[in-house]
Amino acid sequence: MTSPFAFTRALCRTPAPSAVNGIRAGGGPDPDFDTLAAEHEAYVATLRELGLSVDLLPALDAFPDALFTEDVALTFPEGAILLRPGAEARAGEVAHIRDALAARHRVLLEMTGPGHVEGGDVLRLADRIVIGLSDRTDRAGATELAGLLERLGYRAEVAVTPAGVLHFKTGCSLIDARTVLAVPAMRDCPEFAELEVVLTPPGEEGAANILRVRDTVLIGETWRATQALLAARGIAVRRMATEHVARIDAGLSCMSLRW
């Protein structure tokens, strides 16, 4: 397997004005579209600054959550896999990203159902891929996806996402090839038994969805204690504005497909 964060390319989608109506589990204020668009623009610019070639797809106003490209597909150097989102409102997004992935990948596989998987539940480790069961990813979907991953040369295993954690990667992300940043509820995840698990500081559970890109970790700018924790480990940290993205239950990994 190649490195889980040595990316050279990424695929993003421009936010549509309808993004302010994106799916969210709780209450809270609506995002401001101009601020959300600025956060996304800064995110794309940062990926490019870190050396990635980023392609930007046009906005899809009919699909408010379409800027979160990671949920509808998986991308690897060996090929891409079209997923089946568990949120019914997002099912139509797959058709709108198929051609873009086919143009960029020699192999394009596709889930056919009846199960569902969203990319936010798929964590790539250095030696395997973990598929977390959640309200958006079921066991039938995880089983089908594991078979497709095997065709690309990747070993997969299925995990249980703790109650109250929206997506598996809402609660955990890679710091490096042997270290995971996780919320306390995921401290004892069996899939992390051979890894070092670093817990988010108290009150900063929202920091768990970091994004490692090459030698740099992207993190929400408000999570100061977690930033200090990472810096103390010698990790290069890039602080990102994510307040309005977070208002629609999303984080840093959601906004791109990377390979």
Q: Please write the tens of the pLDDT for every residue from 160-171.
A: 999 989 999 999
* Nearest partner of 8 among 56, 44, 51, judged by Cα: 51
**Residue 3 belongs to some domain of the structure:** no
Cα angle: 9, vertex 10, 12; to 5 degrees? 160
* pLDDT tens digits, 167-201: 999 999 999 999 999 999 999 999 999 999 999 99
- Rounded CA separation 100/259 (Å): 14
- Rounded CA separation 188/185 (Å): 8
Domain count, the chain: 1
* pLDDT tens digits, 20-79: 999 988 778 999 999 999 999 999 999 999 999 999 999 999 999 999 999 999 999 999
Q: Which structural domain, as residue segments, surrounds residue 250? A: 9-258
Place of tokens 């549509």: 16
- pTM reported for the whole predicted model: 0.97
* pLDDT tens digits, 108-162: 999 999 999 999 999 999 999 999 999 999 999 999 999 999 999 999 999 999 9
| Order of all β-strands in the sheet with 179-182 | 172-176, 179-182, 196-199
* pLDDT tens digits, 80-98: 999 999 999 999 999 999 9
Phi, psi of 173 (to 5 degrees): -155, 165
More confident residue, 27 or 10: 10
CATH number at residue 230: 3.75.10.10
Q: What number of residues does the chain have? A: 259
**Residue 2 belongs to some domain of the structure:** no
CB within 8 Å of 198: residues ≥ 6 apart: 175, 179, 180, 181, 182, 229
pLDDT at 134: 96
pLDDT at 104: 98
**Confidence category of residue 1, pLDDT binned at 50, 70, 90:** low
**Residue 145 belongs to some domain of the structure:** yes
b/e per residue 72-111 (b: at least 16 CB within 10 A): bbbbbebbbbbbbbbeeebeebbebbbebbeeebeebbeb
Task: Compute the mean pLDDT over every residue in the chain, rounded to the nearest whole number.
Answer: 97
Phi, psi of 38 (to 5 degrees): -65, -40
* pLDDT tens digits, 196-255: 999 999 999 999 999 999 999 999 999 999 999 999 999 999 999 999 999 999 999 999
**Residue 77 belongs to some domain of the structure:** yes
**Residue 82 belongs to some domain of the structure:** yes
Residue 128: other Cβ atoms inside 10 A:
15
pLDDT at 133: 98
**Residue 24 belongs to some domain of the structure:** yes
**Confidence category of residue 2, pLDDT binned at 50, 70, 90:** confident
